[in-house]
Amino acid sequence: MTRKQKRLSVIVAGLAFLAAAAGLTFYALGQKASYFYMPAELATASVQPGQRIRLGGLVESGTVVRGSGATVAFSVTDTQKSIKVTYTGILPDLFREGQGVITEGAFGSDGVFVADSVLAKHDERYMPKEVADGLKAKGVWVESKSQ
The residues of the shown chain that bind other proteins, judged by CB under 8 A, are 6, 10, 14, 17-18, 21, 24-25, 27-29, 31-36, 52, 54, 66, 69-70, 88-91, 93-94, 104, 122-126, 128-130, 133
Return the bridge partners of 72, or none.
Answer: 66, 87
Nearer to other proteins, 49 or 129 (CB): 129
CB of 97 to other proteins, least distance (A): 13
Category of 92 on φ-ψ map: left (φ > 0), alpha (ψ -120 to 50) or beta: beta
Nearer to other proteins, 19 or 112 (CB): 19
C-beta separation of 87 from 66 below 8 A = no
CB of 43 to other proteins, least distance (A): 17
Phi, psi of 12 (to 5 degrees): -60, -45
CB of 85 to other proteins, least distance (A): 16
Element (H, E) at 28: helix 3-32
